A and B are shown apart, each in its own frame.
Chain A
Amino acid sequence: MAQVTLNKVRKVYPNGAEALEPSTFTIPDGELCVLVGPSGCGKSTMLRMVAGLEDVTEGEISIGDRVVNDIDPADRNIAMVFQNYALYPHMTVARNMGYGLKNRGMDKGQIAEKVREAAQMLNLTEFLDRKPSQLSGGQRQRVAMGRAIVREPDLFLFDEPLSNLDAKLRNQMRIEIRALQRRLGTTAMYVTHDQVEAMTMADRIIVLSNGHIEQIGTPAEIYSNPASTFVAAFMGAPPMNLLNAEAGQGRVTLPGGEIVPQAGVNGHAGAVTVGIRPEDVMPSPQGDLTFNVDIIEELGAQRLLHGQMAGQAFSVAVPKDQEAATGEMRLALKPGAVHLFDADEGRRLG
């Protein structure tokens, strides 16, 4: 068990690309921390530096109370699960899981015992003698998990472990991984580009964009207080609506002249971005805002209404029992629905 600390860790690849700007954070012992961001933002780079598969350009990485910058991956007491499983194709499931233990000189009986335990935990007992090629994608992913847990590491590292699975299996494995990590109490870093995975699994989320950390927080914090327009648009499905608006005289005005209620301006004046989540508005004849519905999308539990507000794209989510039709309607805001961002840099205001 161990906490993980990155201290001003930076990565520049030999070709000169800065994949990670200096980043500092701590993951407390036993937490599952999700690194989320669009593809190419540096998530894998960060994870691979923690694993020791990639050199650290600047800064310090500690696992527990040990600085690991110069320690070999094998000696960091970590285990990693890869996107394409990376199982040894010529070894049986049992040998795949036991290989790391064998290399550490553990005796055969003990290895067999640990492998059996892990297999039981993961429902793999009947597959122990099979080769990876004789397993389904989900089973292979379980074997990869098994390989990680038999080692009883201080830290689990997951690099998009569910991306190769179909949607249904992904949901199921998501829950399994979460439950397993809770049960073992092992600290984990989990990389994904899928914000749903991030929201549902994380104790703590780190949102990355273009090599820098946009925000660190619990899923609830990130959802209700996004630190920037990037986070606001990236986290949450359907994504938050972002509207260009003007602040002045203590209020925020949309291009058509409508005033956005609830918006505290804090003396800010000039161009701003207004963020409103689709689920934070509701149709209401007395509403303050005009919304033109173009398209209705049925999702079953809810309906998405896509259209225009003040000439800009806008979406609204309504519960399934609420009637909806295309054309003009009025919207009221739920309390705390308005997020205000700086128009140039996208930083949160207030």
Chain B
Amino acid sequence: MADITQTRVQATTRTTTRKRIRWDHIADHAILIAGALLMLVPVYMVFATSSWDPITIHREGMQFGFGDRLAENYDAALFEYGGFTDSVNGMTMLANSLILGLGFAIGKIIVGMMAAYAIVYFRLKFATLAFWMIFTTLLLPLEVRILPSYEVISWMNLGNTYTGLIVPLIASATATFFFRQFFRSVPEELIEAARIDGAGPVKFFIDILVPLSKTMIAAMFIIMFVFGWNQYLWPTLITTDESLFTLVRGIRQIVQSYADGSETPDYGQAAALAIIAMTPPVLIVVFFQSWFVKGLTESDK
């Protein structure tokens, strides 16, 4: 123990005293910086572009510098009603995206936790089979089964509803899988102590398992929220009513008008909308990142 501490101290002093430039480090950093630029420059360009008028963008393409239409573009993107029916503005779409993201994340966590609870803690006849069947659905994301899912939803008359938008997305195994792994790592004695303490299955779940899973739930929430928020294909397919459009869907709608040949698409507004669409997931990740890391790495049980 003492040895280890000592070597560690030596190691740190060595790195702080010798500030020689290490060439392999420069290479590492160059790669990292290149990667970061690759990710960030497009975002910056969209942001810069969102401050220009549509004519300039149409003529000269994406912009590096800032124009003078920043406020107008964002105002229009958020509050100006558009679409064929003039029934949707940015705020509506923001709300819809939020409902989709939250509904998807919360629904998925609830379903996933309960399924994992059943599989891990109850002696079900076909628990393993059930688990592997659920697990296989990891290989079948919505995009693979999109046509049958569409059939089912329209047969149930759930097109153009939030239910139709959210529920089919929930049916997959990621959350179940993660919660199962987590529950299996909860010590057996804890369950036994709770049994002796008179906690039945429901009490054990609510009083013990859910609080223990707190960080795991937070991590799942972030992943699932962003995943739901970014859905494009399914909402496009299932919502034709413009008042149900999500942000991601709305961006397409603006650009679409160009293809329709009706007018010059408002690229500035589209760019503004893209930035608006990016913001909530980024905020959530920034605010919850410590929870996020904890949930995926911590084993404080």
Contact = CB atoms under 8 A, between A and B. Distances in A.
A80 B300 contact: no
Interface stretch (A71-79, A184-192, A313-321): A71-79
A265 to B, nearest CB: 51
B207 interface: yes
Given A53-B192, A90-B208, A104-B198, 8 more contacts: A51-B192, A53-B196, A80-B192, A82-B193, A84-B187, A87-B193, A88-B190, A88-B193
B106 interface: no
A277 B190 CA distance: 43
Interface string A54-96: 0000000000000000001110001110111011111000000
Interface in A85-112: 86-90, 99-100, 103-104
Contacts of B207: 99
Interface of B: 187, 189-190, 192-199, 203, 207-208, 211-212, 214, 300-301
A74 B212 contact: no
**Looking at chain B's contact residues, is the secondary structure mostly helix, strand, loop, or mixed?**
helix
Contact of A99 (B187, B192, B199, B300): B199
B196 A79 contact: yes
Interface residues of A, number: 22
A100 to B, nearest CB: 4
Contacts of B212: 89-90
Contacts of B193: 80, 82, 86-88, 147
Contact of B197 (A74, A83, A84, A133): A74
8 contacts: A53-B196, A73-B196, A74-B196, A82-B192, A86-B192, A87-B193, A90-B214, A103-B197
Interface of A: 51, 53, 72-74, 78-80, 82-84, 86-90, 99-100, 103-104, 133, 147
A161 B80 CA distance: 69
A74 B190 contact: no
Contact of A103 (B189, B199, B211, B214): B199
Contact of A100 (B190, B196, B301): B196
Nearest to A105: B198
Contact of A82 (B189, B203, B301): B189
Contacts of A86: 187, 189-190, 192-193
Nearest to B191: A86
